[in-house]
A and B are shown apart, each in its own frame.
Chain A
């Protein structure tokens, strides 16, 4: 299956068109934010403050990159585990967040908010930080430098290979992928037994 090229920020229609299991190549602007930045972002929004980047249509990459060695845009830059941001994600989705990039399954409230508002969850290959770094063209600090690796950074991506892990229509590859494998394995087993009986 050919990968679909998309560019962030995304419109609601673009997000709603994606389906779990599809491969995408993401270009454009994404913002890094993880545990500590999410806490600060939500506290700021609750106080009525302006977020450090526009949330409407935005893509957040759950990533704390390694420092960039001289001559490189960024250090290793793979995804962190997404469930730790589940407590914060629905409120951000309701405010326009359209794309989350991370790894690992999401909670029911996050999936529900994605359906309600038209957002998508993309998975980057966890553990492929050196490879994913090659898709980052630039990296600039945006907010909260005191957080170190956890600070908010603006990344420009070019064709980052990602998988649609959960979509706005209720599809969830963390459920459907293993289920399809088990179904295949069960069929193979029945077939094996059948051939066994023939002999």
Chain B
């Protein structure tokens, strides 16, 4: 059994908090720059060019790409042959977030209670989504997500009879209602199946996929392409001022569900589909 000190997890999470907030994954940056090249609507070209310049500014200054450095989800795949020593895993993760947000000059956006609303001052707690996997490595992915897009996410319990049409309609309605609020161009994670809790997790996890990837199942890959075209035909455009580019990608994840159920979740993210990972 491999021994891994909890302090290594803390250091890793702190680094990843800073990295994820300061630069986008290569696939997300490439998708934005390609859209800026392709866009034909004049005002929209300007907005996309500004967003591309913003990524350069963040790189040059070390500032985060967005002031909303988000609520953090830490995804972890923990090898079952790893023994974490010298502290608890979850405490180590939270300490990493605390340190990363302090050292990285990142905004502290978390309130301790949803109704009484006092800021915790250190951006903790982060949500932790851990899985136990074979092996003796630990893979950690830190993904901060801002409230502008998070507030536009929806879950709906459809009926099996509503089928694919029902899911497509729900995705389109959600994007239409979101309009200019989530800082389009957006990335859309869609979860289909599972239960009420797991469908939201599926949609959220879909955002970790490269934006140029397709679902390995040809049926869902076709649905991703179709939905992306339908969403861009809405004309909402960058910032909601009209244009060709409303969405950069639709990423669908499906899971087994109950005979009486068809849950669907739409997780809207802005162009800054932030995540960074390391394997320990």
Per the bound structure, the CA–CA distance linking A173 and B238 in Å amounts to: 12
Q: Is A17 an interface residue (CB 8 A)?
A: no
Most buried by B among A67, A68, A129, A163: A129
The answer on a CB contact under 8 Å between B62 and A69 is: yes
Contacts of B271 in A (CB 8 A): 127
Interface residues of A in 119-152 (CB under 8 A from B): 123, 125-131, 133-134, 147-150
Given contacts A63-B67, A123-B239, contact A130 B58 (CB under 8 A): yes
Interface residues of B in 12-70 (CB under 8 A from A): 41, 43-44, 47, 50-51, 53-55, 57-58, 61-69
Interface residues of B in 200-248 (CB under 8 A from A): 233-237, 239-244
Per the bound structure, the CA–CA distance linking A105 and B182 in Å amounts to: 11
B51 interface neighbour in A66, A127, A133, A148, Cβ under 8 Å = A127
Interface residues of B in 95-124 (CB under 8 A from A): 105-109, 117, 119, 121
The answer on a CB contact under 8 Å between B57 and A178 is: no
Q: Is B159 an interface residue (CB 8 A)?
A: no
Looking at chain B's contact residues, the main secondary structure is: loop
The answer on a CB contact under 8 Å between B105 and A67 is: yes
The answer on a CB contact under 8 Å between A65 and B107 is: yes
Q: Is B189 an interface residue (CB 8 A)?
A: no
Contacts of A118 in B (CB 8 A): none
Q: Is B181 an interface residue (CB 8 A)?
A: yes
A67 interface neighbour in B62, B65, B107, Cβ under 8 Å = B107
Query: Nearest B residue to A128 by beta-carbon distance?
Result: B54
The answer on a CB contact under 8 Å between B53 and A66 is: no
Per the bound structure, the CA–CA distance linking A65 and B107 in Å amounts to: 7
The answer on a CB contact under 8 Å between A178 and B242 is: yes
Given contacts A103-B180, A126-B270, A181-B243, contact A64 B107 (CB under 8 A): yes
The answer on a CB contact under 8 Å between B237 and A133 is: no
The answer on a CB contact under 8 Å between B64 and A127 is: no
Q: B41 CB to closest chain A CB, in angstroms?
A: 6
The answer on a CB contact under 8 Å between B108 and A149 is: yes
Query: Nearest B residue to A83 by beta-carbon distance?
Result: B181
The answer on a CB contact under 8 Å between A125 and B239 is: yes
Interface string of B167-192 (1 = CB under 8 A from A): 00000000000011111000000000
Per the bound structure, the CA–CA distance linking A125 and B53 in Å amounts to: 12
The answer on a CB contact under 8 Å between A127 and B54 is: yes
A interface bracket (residues with beta carbon within 8 Å of B): 35 or more
The answer on a CB contact under 8 Å between A130 and B241 is: no
Query: Nearest B residue to A176 by beta-carbon distance?
Result: B242
Given contacts A177-B237, A177-B241, A181-B243, contact A69 B105 (CB under 8 A): yes
Per the bound structure, the CA–CA distance linking A173 and B237 in Å amounts to: 11
Given contacts A66-B67, A81-B148, A178-B234, contact A131 B119 (CB under 8 A): no
Per the bound structure, the CA–CA distance linking A7 and B272 in Å amounts to: 31
The answer on a CB contact under 8 Å between A134 and B57 is: yes
Contacts of A68 in B (CB 8 A): 105
Interface residues of A in 1-40 (CB under 8 A from B): 21, 36
Q: Which of A48-56, A70-78, A89-97 contacts B (4 or more CB under 8 A)?
A: A70-78
Per the bound structure, the CA–CA distance linking A57 and B173 in Å amounts to: 38
Contacts of B257 in A (CB 8 A): none
Q: Is A182 an interface residue (CB 8 A)?
A: yes
The answer on a CB contact under 8 Å between A185 and B233 is: yes
* CB-defined A-B contacts under 8 Å, sample of 6: A78-B68, A126-B148, A129-B64, A130-B61, A179-B242, A181-B41
List 8 additional contacts besides A66-B105, A126-B148; criterion CB under 8 Å.
Answer: A69-B105, A76-B66, A76-B69, A80-B147, A81-B147, A177-B43, A177-B243, A178-B236
Chain B residues packing against A (C-beta within 8 Å) = 41, 43-44, 47, 50-51, 53-55, 57-58, 61-69, 105-109, 117, 119, 121, 147-148, 151, 179-183, 233-237, 239-244, 270-272
The 3 closest A-B pairs by CB, nearest first: A177-B242, A181-B242, A126-B183
